[in-house]
Amino acid sequence: MAFAKMMFLFSKFQQGIGVLAKSTTFAKNQRQLQFEADINKLFMFTSYNRLGRDAEEADAEEIIEMAGKATLSEQEKQVQENIHYQLEKFCASMDEILLPDSDKTNDFSTADKLVVPETKPLKLAEVSQRLKDRIGYTLKIKPSLIPHKDAGQGCFIDGEADVGAVLAFYPGVVYSPAFHRYIPGYPNVDAHNSYLITRYDGTVINAQPWGCGGESRQVWNGSFTTPEVRANVKTVENGSDKVSKILSKPLEGSGNVKAVLELRNPLAFGHFANHPSKDMDPNIMICPYDFLLSEEAMRACIPNVAFRNEGGLKMMKSESFLFMTRSNSSLDAPVLKTLVLVATRALCNEELMLNYRLSSFERRPEWYTPVDEEEYR
């Protein structure tokens, strides 16, 4: 099979990456090496997924050959295009499920006016099932199968998905490096919040306010959607009321950007993915996705808002590479820096496992077992 061939060649490539990682030449920049290895994986996984199940062996070999020749910048651009291609289809499916049959062209919000369009009165569970009927999978939150007391809830795929499929968004408030000090609980933000994640560029996403989403489409500014998530926030050992108050609401004058978002998003549960226990392997990986804010038709299904507007955040225009690119991309298009989780193999009715890559320079939880000690994060 073409996929088996691709995975065989890919494993050989990864062996080469492992050799480079141990080289003293790269010892001072191992984080960058890991980033490049991840982009290379994402390039191959998402490109193969875009070709579809009818791909031939020659297609797989061409992707791997291009992965070896393309520059990092070219691969990053193509990964963005591949992810966007999938999310366009996801958003179209959500519109079919939620927008009234008589009106699939609701007015979009603008910078001066937020318009909440009429949607069908469906519950999140109903939306989730209808999405599965259309794309073949959805997500379920239930007790994790990982055997340690702190595992809590886990994120499970309900259905089947191919390698390279976008399985989940990492929802919540997006903080650029310039605004890290505004993350609730700063500077010890992770001591009281296990729903934080960081992109390679330093952007932090706080999913704690998103919780389990909601049951409507509404204007959202990063406030808590699920009261029980707020109640379950860990506090310091002395139970400081001050810490609890800080974590239970956005900072005064925080200025979170408001947006009309669909809280019934069945894939906005990436923050419930657990780290694999010993003798288990990750089956998903993080992928940075810079969402073009000019894509108004998709905005409601991207479950993130920025902490304050940053006019300087732009994305360079993507050039055509392997596949057709978005025709409305522009040099000055503002973006929202988000994260999605991508399948690293074919999945069917199982728990999603994400390599947390906790730094070896900091104290790790007792339950944490490194997937690869050579990795640095």
- For 170, the token pair is 């990492």
pLDDT band at 220 (very low <50, low <70, confident <90, very high): very high
Q: Is residue 359 part of a domain?
A: no
Residue 193 buriedness (CB in 10 A; 0-12 / 13-18 / 19+): middle
Judge whether 273 and 155 are in contact, CB under 8 Å.
yes
Confidence of residue 237 (pLDDT cuts 50, 70, 90): very low
Q: What are phi and psi of 248, to 5 degrees?
A: -90, 0
Alpha-carbon distance of 61 to 42, in angstroms, equals: 15
Q: Please determine, for residue 297, whether its predicted confidence score (pLDDT) is greater than 50.
A: yes
| Residue range(s) defining the domain that contains residue 298 | 2-348
What number of residues does the chain have? 377
First to last CA, the chain: 35
61 phi and psi angles, rounded to 5 deg: -65, -35
The answer as to whether 353 is a domain residue is: no
Is the model more confident about 68 or about 361? 68
Do the domain assignments include residue 14? yes
The pLDDT of residue 14 is above 60: no
Above 50 in pLDDT, residue 140?
yes
CA dist., res. 104 & res. 126, Å (int):
19
Q: Is residue 167 part of a domain?
A: yes
Q: How confident is the model at residue 257 (pLDDT cuts 50, 70, 90)?
A: confident
Please check whether residue 206 lies inside any domain of the structure.
yes
- pLDDT bucket at 13, cuts 50 / 70 / 90: very low
Task: Determine phi and psi for 137, rounding to 5 degrees.
Answer: -160, 160
Phi and psi at residue 225, in whole multiples of 5°? -95, -25
> Does residue 98 have a pLDDT over 70?
yes
Greatest alpha-carbon span in the chain: 63
Q: Residue 319: what pLDDT?
A: 37
Percent of the chain past pLDDT 70, that is, above it, reads 72
pLDDT of the residue at 239: 34
Tokens for 372?
């690869």
**Ranges 115-129, 139-153, 200-214: which has the least confidence:** 139-153
Question: Residue 102 has what pLDDT?
Answer: 60
| CA atoms lying within 13 Å on the CB side of residue 149 | 2
Q: What percent of the chain has pLDDT over 90?
A: 51
Q: What's the pLDDT score for residue 185?
A: 87
Closest among 82, 177, 103, 141 to 271, alpha carbons compared: 141
pLDDT tens profile 46-77: 998 988 776 677 777 787 788 778 899 999 99
- Return d(Cα 344, Cα 359) in angstroms, integer: 22
Query: Taking 50 as the threshold, does the pLDDT of residue 90 lie above it?
Result: yes
8 A C-beta contact, residue 86 and residue 169: no
In-domain check, residue 7: yes
Instruction: Please give the model's pTM, rounded to 2 decimal places.
Output: 0.82
If one compares 315 and 224, the residue with the highest pLDDT of the two is: 224
- 3-state DSSP call for residue 351? strand
Give the Cα separation of 58 and 69 in Å (integer).
Answer: 16
Which pLDDT band holds residue 245 (cuts at 50, 70, 90)? Answer: very low
Q: Is residue 343 situated within a structural domain?
A: yes
Give pLDDT, residue 366: 77
pLDDT at 375: 64
Average pLDDT over residues 323-334: 53
Strands 304-306 and 172-175: parallel
Examine residue 184 and say whether the peptide bond preceding it is cis (omega within 30 degrees of 0).
no
Round to whole Å and give the CA distance between 164 and 168: 12
Band of pLDDT at residue 302, cut at 50, 70 and 90:
very high
How many C-beta atoms surround the C-beta of residue 62 within 10 A? 15
CB 117 within 8 A of CB 262: no
Q: Of 35-49, 135-149, 320-334, where does mean pLDDT reach its minimum?
A: 320-334
Residue 100 is predicted with a pLDDT of 93
Query: What pLDDT score was predicted for residue 159?
Result: 98
Cβ atoms of residues 367 and 151 within 8 Å: yes
Task: Tell me the average pLDDT of the chain.
Answer: 80
Q: Return contacts of 156-160, CB within 8 angstroms, 24+ apart.
A: 156/349, 156/350, 156/351, 156/352, 157/347, 157/348, 157/349, 157/350, 157/352, 158/128, 158/132, 158/349, 159/132, 159/348, 159/349, 160/136, 160/346, 160/347, 160/348, 160/349
Residue 377 covered by a domain: no
Task: Dig out the tokens for 283 from the structure.
Answer: 């089956």
Q: Is pLDDT at 138 greater than 80 in this prediction? A: yes
pLDDT of residue 322: 42
Q: Write out the DSSP string of 278-299.
A: TT----EEEEEEEEETT-GGGG
Domain count, the chain: 1
122-131, 260-269, 294-303, 354-363: lowest mean pLDDT where?
Answer: 354-363
121 pLDDT band, cuts 50/70/90, is very high
